[in-house]
Chain A
Amino acid sequence: MNWGSFSAFLHMGGYAFYVWSSFGLSFALLAFELVQLSLRKRTLLKRLGQIQKLNEHRGNK
């Protein structure tokens, strides 16, 4: 175990700012990519649903 206490862990031997911003930003970006993908999926499905409706509408006529 490297760290005596939780605060020592957070402190990162004085490099807390650099270490935590690196890891934090990196994973935030990865998370952002995932969120962006699921949003894209949702809008795409909505659009496909609209196309579907339009086609059915045309078919009924």
Chain B
Amino acid sequence: MSKINWYKYSAPVTFYGLAGKMFPGFAILSAILFAIGLYISFFVAPTDATQGDAYRIIFIHVPAAWMSMFIYVVMAAYAGIGLAFNTRLSAMMAQALAPTGALFCFIALFTGSFWGKPMWGAWWVWDARLTSQLILFFLYVGFISLQAAIDDPRRSDRAGALIALVGVINVPIIYFSVKWWNTLHQGASISLTKAPSMAHTMLLGMLIMALACWMYTIAVALYRVRLIILERERNSTWVSDLMKEMK
């Protein structure tokens, strides 16, 4: 067996081509999974006995919330690798993931609110999960605006990586403190966890939707990292060769 040369793929030039080849696959996969997931969410999963049809929001809400947390961790991992091994590509991947993570975080927030209104009678409840989600959104915003404010790509990569790592260390502390705060201030006891024991179809629908979101994230991140590579390497010969080919 020939050994795969991973270093080769960590060079932006090679990865540009590779990402271009991988993108359609993930995009198609994501579309198919979304179609199946939506079908299950609306046609297979039965109406919930206590929450009626409003509960169907969880098919988008929960996957979005999962993705937003997962993407932050992956982003921080890329950032850490970039900082430790000085690889440009991993920093670019972190940068490519951030907007999508923030987007999912935002989706989780407003779908949570649209679910909360009919269930709790309020658009926003300072529940531990919603609050942590909001803070996660702030962390994303901080990361993105720090990177946007720095013109020098090298400094931007490394500064972003550092704040992502600081953020990921803080996430458990923040989550714990918010939970603590929430249990102390339990006025009217409202809990989001009181969802009725989940039927298998519901769980299946959620998992498929989550997979769809996952594939979507990979596809979009690959697409965006290609743009970032092009932007960064605009003065290199391979980009100008590429431009000549395209003409």
What residues of chain A have their CB less than 8 Å away from a CB belonging to chain B?
Answer: 1-3, 9, 12-15, 18-19, 21-23, 25-26, 29-30, 33-34, 37, 40-41, 44-45, 47-49, 51-52, 55
Contact = CB atoms under 8 A, between A and B. Distances in A.
A22 B243 contact: no
Interface stretch (B11-19, B39-47, B162-170): B39-47
Interface residues of B, number: 39
Contacts of B54: 12-13, 15, 18-19
B61 A22 contact: yes
Contacts of A47: 234
B43 A2 contact: yes
Given A2-B42, A37-B223, A41-B227, A19 B57 contact: yes
A22 B60 contact: yes
8 A-B pairs with least C-beta separation: A13-B53, A15-B54, A22-B111, A22-B114, A12-B53, A13-B52, A22-B57, A52-B243
Contacts of A14: 52-53
Interface SS majority for chain A:
helix
Given A33-B100, A40-B227, A49-B243, A15 B110 contact: no
12 contacts: A2-B46, A3-B43, A12-B53, A19-B54, A22-B114, A23-B60, A25-B110, A29-B106, A44-B227, A49-B243, A51-B240, A52-B244
Contact of B103 (A12, A22, A33, A41): A33
B115 A22 contact: yes
A41 B226 CA distance: 9
Contacts of B56: 12, 19
A15 B52 contact: yes
Nearest to B111: A22
B97 to A, nearest CB: 12
Interface string B61-75: 100100000000000
Contacts of B45: 2
B107 interface: yes
B83 to A, nearest CB: 26
A15 B38 CA distance: 17
Interface string B94-124: 0000011001001100110011011000000
B60 A2 contact: no
Nearest to B64: A26
